[in-house]
Amino acid sequence: MHLNLRFPALLGAAAAISQAALSQEAGQQRPNIIYIMSDDHAYQAISAYGGPLKDLASTPNIDRIGKEGIRFDRCLVTNSISGPCRAVILTGKYSHLNGFLNNEGQKPFDGSQQTFPKLLQKAGYQTAMIGKWHLMSDPTGFDHWEVLPGQGSYYNPEFITSEGRHTEKGYVTELITEKSLKWLDEARKTGKPFMLMMHHKAPHREWQPGPNELTLYKNVKFPETETLFDDYSNRGTAEKTQDMTISKTMRIEEDLKLYKDKSKMKSTGLTRMDSLQMANWNAVYDPIIKEFYSLNLTGLDLVRYKYQRYLQDYLACIAAVDKSVGEVLDYLRESGLDKNTVVIYASDQGFYLGEHGWFDKRWMFEQSYRTPLLISWPGVTKPGSVNSDMVSNIDLPETFLEIAGVKVPDDMQGRSMVPILKGKTPSDWRKEHYYHYYEYPGSHMVKRHYGMSTERYKLIHYYYDIDEWELYDIKADPQEMKNVYNDPEYASIRKYLHKRLAKLMKKYGDSEQLAKSFLPEN
């Protein structure tokens, strides 16, 4: 649905571009920036990245950003969990410096510190934050903000503004879209450049599809991932003691919405639905529930069933996000802003869609460590470009600042990707990346670890709770199924990576003494 249909009072005819927008185009003022981020969107679930889901659950609008710009195939996060990733993107600093290390047991984000929105504000940009914030604090550095409390709700959600809380009727993805389009329409009339952070809740657990997507994948059978029944042999204690498997951890009722006793729904966001929303929901789910309990599934058959239900709901949530991206792109075209607006699509981090039998994130293994990133900058990025350089979420704020012509502060730890967007990767671009995850004990019981990745190798240290090392040869073992840390054939590689990891920890100011303690003697 295009904005001129949904908000006729705001746009009028699509050709009626404001004088401010015309003068902006004529003067080629600093680019506008729209950063769209979903929550827990796996790159495997974006058709632009290919893979077995490409034709079964396509994302044509997200793909448009890549077709009009560039797709990054090696964007890595510094700490694979939602809140910390958001803090990294705001500050351009690793978790140990910005102070936001975990989702659980964490103090609110320190909004008094330097962030890129504040720097853009000082440079004359209008700034807005709409959607999922998830930092336990009020946003700072934004002229306008309207955010979900905590994780937020899919149906009839609450929003927080500087004036307090209020509830709105509707589906959260559609509401965030409407609010973002409304703000964009107001911002463009000023003639000033703008920066919008548009953050979706979807497709975060418990994956509640919207009213327009309830039956979208009802009859689709998705291919099983190769490692769905991973037994974690050739791996260590951490993999064998986690709590995030589809088989044991994924809840039949809360996660898959297969409520035998609907009184248990009281603890979920489903009870926020009004009677009509609930009737539509029940019309779809009641037959599914009846069939499921008639099957009496156990063992591997139950895992396979859970996997299918999981993907059907998860991907339906993404379909609504994809529609949202399409509405934003259509609005930019219809309003004449498309020629001078940089559009970025990303997730806070990656996610597991059954790989290693898992859902969720947290690990330094590929599916959670790597996040989707697509950027379109008209007249700058070559349409249809694909890039395999090792970029990171910590590079995003520096990139936004350079796009806006603002000096990047020396204390930011990432690096602007603008040269890459222009098709000229610097010769000294990073060849290795540092990672540090802190949340344990906690949800899913993934033990704390840090490590580094090169193009071919990945070195991981589970230090705090156990003292175990893992080394993976990504080229020889792309599924990361065999730890070769103690393999004599990798002795020289192990020694080299230890030294490189110590240098990275020193570079980023993270536990230098600890780094020294594990260096080889020679």
Burial grade of 468 (CB within 10 A; 0-12, 13-18, 19 or more):
middle
Asked if residues 244 and 357 have their Cβ atoms less than 8 Å apart, the reply is no
Residues 73-97, buried b or exposed e (16+ Cβ, 10 A)? eebbbbbbbbbbbbbbbbbbbbbbb
User: Residue 208: phi, psi to the nearest 5?
Assistant: -100, 110
Indicate the average pLDDT of the chain: 93
Say what the pLDDT of residue 105 is: 85
Q: How confident is the model at residue 515 (pLDDT cuts 50, 70, 90)?
A: low
Q: What percent of the chain has pLDDT over 70?
A: 93
- Interhelix angle 299-335/172-188, nearest 10 degrees: 20
Positive/negative CA dihedral, 268, 274, 275, 278: negative
Torsion of CA 382, 383, 388, 393, to 10 degrees: 90
What value, to the nearest 5°, has the Cα angle with vertex 203 and ends 198 and 206? 130
pLDDT reported for residue 331: 98
> Is residue 122 classed exposed, middle or buried when 0-12, 13-18 and 19+ CB atoms within 10 A define those classes?
exposed
Q: Hey, is 47 helix, strand or coil?
A: helix
Closest to 132 in 3D by CA, of 118, 116, 150: 150
Mean pLDDT, rounded, for 485-492: 98
pLDDT for residue 10 is more than 50: no
Distance CA 241, CA 250 (A): 15
Q: Which two tokens stand for residue 8?
A: 């006729």
| Range 453-459, long-range pairs (CB < 8 A, 24+ positions) | 453/76, 453/364, 453/369, 453/390, 454/497, 454/500, 455/390, 455/431, 457/493, 457/497, 458/364, 459/485, 459/494, 459/497, 459/498, 459/501
Q: Return the pLDDT at 3.
A: 43
pLDDT at residue 109 in the model? 96
How is residue 469 written in tokens? 């090392």
Please give the C-alpha separations between residue 142 and each of 88, 92, 130, 513, in angstroms, as whole numbers: 17, 17, 10, 38
Residue 514 has, within 13 A of its CA and on its CB side, a CA count of 14
- Domain borders along the chain are 3-208+314-430, 237-307, 435-517
Any alpha helices (H) in 423-507, and if so which ranges? 491-507
Judged against a pLDDT cut of 50, whether residue 1 lies above it is answered with no
Residue 205 is predicted with a pLDDT of 97
DSSP string covering 379-440: TTSPTTEEE-S-EEGGGHHHHHHHHTTPPPPTT--S---HHHHTT---TT--SEEEEEE---
The residue written with tokens 């996997």 in the block is 307
Question: What pLDDT does residue 5 have?
Answer: 38
Grouping H, G, I as helix, E, B as strand and the rest as coil, residue 177 is helix
Q: Which two tokens stand for residue 20?
A: 């401010």
Q: How far apart are the two ends of the chain, measured CA to CA in Å?
A: 64
| Mean pLDDT within 95-118 | 95
Mean pLDDT across the stretch 394-409? 98
Residue 3 and residue 10: Cα distance in Å, rounded? 8
CATH number of 435-517: 3.30.1120.10
Q: What is the spatial distance between Cα 48 and Cα 64, in angstroms, rounded to a whole number?
A: 9
SS3 state of residue 130: strand
pLDDT for 154-174, tens place per residue? 999 999 999 999 999 999 999
Q: Which amino acid is at 27?
A: G
Which pLDDT belongs to residue 262?
Answer: 83
What is the model's pLDDT at position 478?
97
Helices assigned H by DSSP within 202-350: 237-241, 275-295, 299-335
CA 408 to CA 410: how far, in whole Å?
6
Q: How many CA atoms lie within 13 A of 181 on its CB side?
A: 29
The confidence band for 520, taking pLDDT boundaries of 50, 70 and 90, is low
CA angle 129/135/139 to nearest 5° reads 35
Please check the confidence at residue 311 and state whether its pLDDT lies above 70: yes
Q: Could you tell me the pLDDT band of residue 4, with boundaries at 50, 70 and 90?
A: very low
Residue whose tokens read 């920890």: 505
> What region does 89 belong to: left with phi over 0, alpha with psi -120 to 50, or beta?
alpha
pLDDT digits (tens, 9 = 90+) for 11-65: 433 333 333 333 334 345 899 999 999 999 999 999 999 999 999 999 999 999 9
Tokens describing residue 414: 């990432």
- Phi (first) and psi of residue 165, to 5 degrees: -100, 150
Asked if 433 and 118 touch (Cβ cutoff 8 Å), the reply is: no
pTM (two decimals): 0.93
CATH architecture under which domain 3-208+314-430 falls: 3-Layer(aba) Sandwich (3.40)
Give the H/E segment covering residue 98: helix 95-98
